[in-house]
Structure 1
Amino acid sequence: MLSSEASTLPDKRERGLLLVFSAGVLWSTMGLGVRLIEDATVWQILLYRSISLSLFLYVVIRIRSGESPFVQIRQVGLPVVLAGMALVLAFSGGIYAIQTTSVANAMLLFATAPFIAAILGRIILGEAVRKATWIACIVAIAGVAIMVADKSSGGVIKGSLAALGSAFGFAFFTISLRWGKSGEMLPAVFLSGLFAIALTLVICIATDLPLVLSPRDGGISVGMGIFQVGAGLILYTIGSRSLPAAELTLLSLAEVVLAPVWVWIFLGETATTNTLLGGVVLLAAIIGNAITGVVRRPPPLSSP
């Protein structure tokens, strides 16, 4: 019996690797999707993406759990609400960053989220932070400094700050889930969609932005909500259950690495020397932190 259960572990791990990597591939298309938008602003894109995301997740949560996502939200309470609000910051910052700076620059700055989460976890939850992680944070900050050193344009600097704000939002989302002791992120993502719909509606109306987009812009925005965000999070949620956190960190690099590739292949967008150099430093910090985490994990006990 034990040997039969043990034989299924590699299959579960391989399935988890495939699902989480696939999630990263889907997330990596955000830069390409935003670049293909012709006229819509960040708030219009977020409005349409949030509507499709919320409807999609409502159906998925009902099918998976047999209950309304509002029931799950009430069960967890404040942590899910805070997580949903944090994702609004992450989503809006991410779209604005890609519209105002290069996809490579934005994605590499998004990759600082694990380090921000480590610092917030220490401050808010009192979680211990490994010495290697603190060193990696310092190296990552150096990489970010190199990336933005040649950004003299005000718009590009704002885009870089928005990318860091997006990373902060994702980090706070993670901390909120840990605080609520909930491994299920989908209700929080569903709630973030509702928050974003309310926020973007107010902003669009207040700034006289049209609520009706062109078929091209509207279709791309709706598709991003379903396939890029919604489907990606579902794959990540299922796959993450059979993988340690260190491996999840490594697999999340698929988004960072592939996003600039898509815009280079399809749109011919390239990155500056500083972005590439700073990105190498940043990725080295992320990979080093993940590898040291794997090395420090104690080996599993073997059955007699």
Structure 2
Amino acid sequence: MEYRTGVGLAVAATMLWSCQGLIFRQIAVADPWAILFWRSAGMVPVVAAFVIWTGGARRLHAIGAAGVVGALGLILAFGGAVYAIQSTSIANAVFLFSASPFITALLGWAVLGERVRGRTWASIGVAAVGIAVMVQGGLDRGALAGNLAALISASGFAVFTVTLRRAGLADPMPIVLLGGIFSLIAGAVMAGAAGASLIVPVADLGWSLFMGAVTLAGGMVLYTLGSRVVPAAELTLISLLEVMLAPLLVWLVMGEGASRATMIGGVFVLAAVLMNATGRSRAAPIPA
């Protein structure tokens, strides 16, 4: 695969992911656990087909305990994201999601003993300021639960990323498949515990399945293929398209804005991601 093709696939993936906030706003009745269940139900067959197509089924037995922990982390990532988007603005949620690389760096340092560069420590500090501003804004607007859920989601992705390194697995999709199955089960269990029903209106069911099969799983497949030829630092920069497009889409289509605290905090977080990613890209050669 050529480098340009990889970039195109990664960009297409982020554009698909950026549509999820808009799709969430089309769901009228289903609660977060029903959405998690049906979105996972849409995601699992697509990811399973990709794993089989790429020969990943033969590697499922090699996931090990670390891979299972990573899959459990995806329950937090997927469930937290659903709850956050249902409880706060799209802008607030996606800005907080983008803090995941910094949580990953801290977790990798604590668990794996990975060295954290000075630039990354500085970026973490800048991101922490932005997160504090957004969480404080959530206290004022009654969206604290949504903010915390978004941070839990980011932490879940961090656990997933660190366990990939711990297990030495280059292909994340078998663990994503397991995480999707776990999330399917978790959605059903939590709905039952909350006394909620998984039976939802046909429109909500269709949007949830579409989101899982197309925007979430489809984006993961494209991003995984693109990551084979695009350096990690550039992928981080490309993924920022989602952070910018998701709030823009819901503003253009639904008229959903963002609070002053969200915008100020989001600027800090985006600046931190850019500072960290551009530092890594200068340190590594970029393919022609």
State yes or no: 1:202 paired with 2:181. no
Deviations 1:177-218 (A, max 9, x none): 111111211111111111112222122223332222111000
- The superposition leaves residues 223-281 of structure 1 with CA deviations (integer Å, 9 ceiling, x where unpaired) of 01111111111011110111111111111101111110111111000011111111111
Distance in 1, matches of 2:190 and 2:40, equals 14
8 Å CA contact 1:13–1:243 kept in 2: the answer is: yes
| TM-score, structure 2 normalization | 0.95
Aligned to 1:19: 9
Letter in 2 for 1:42: P
Deviation at 1:64, TM superposition (A): 2.5
**2: CA distance, partners of 1:96 / 1:207:** 14
RMSD over aligned Cα atoms = 1.6
Match of 2:263 in 1: 276
1:1-304 matched pairs, under 5 angstroms? 12-65=2-55, 69=57, 71-153=58-140, 155-297=142-284
Aligned length, in residue pairs? 287
Provide the secondary structure at the position in 2 that maps to 1:182: coil
- Which amino acid is the alignment partner of residue 79 of structure 2? S
Q: Do 1:100 and 1:155's aligned partners in 2 also have CA atoms closer than 8 Å?
A: no
Deviation at 1:158, TM superposition (A): 0.8
Letter in 2 for 1:247: E
Return the offset for 1:299.
8.1
> Any idea what SS the aligned residue of 1:149 has?
helix
Corresponding letter in the other structure for 2:26: L
Structure 1 stretch displaced more, 192-201 or 235-244 = 192-201
Higher Cα Rg: structure 1 or 2? 1
TM-score normalised by the chain length of structure 1 = 0.90
Can you list the C-alpha shifts for 1:82-104, whole angstroms capped at 9, x where unaligned?
11110110000001111111100
1:78-125 alpha-carbon deviations (Å, 9 max, x no partner): 122111110110000001111111100100000000011011111111
Contact 1:50 1:197 in 2 (8 A): yes
Structure 2 CA distance for partners of 1:63 and 1:270, relative to 1, 3 Å: same
Deviation of the 1:152 alpha carbon = 3.0
Aligned partner of 1:3 in structure 2 is none
Preserved CA contact (<8 Å) 1:89 1:169: yes
Paired residue secondary structure (2:184): helix
Amino acid at match of 2:277: A
Q: Share of identical aligned residues, percent? A: 41
Is this contact kept in 1: 2:66–2:163, CA < 8 A?
yes
1:297 is displaced (CA, Å) by 2.6
Kept after mapping to 1: 8 A contact 2:63/2:175: no
Q: Do the aligned partners of 2:92 and 2:134 also contact (CA within 8 Å) in 1?
A: yes
Residue 72 of structure 1 deviates from its aligned partner by 2.3
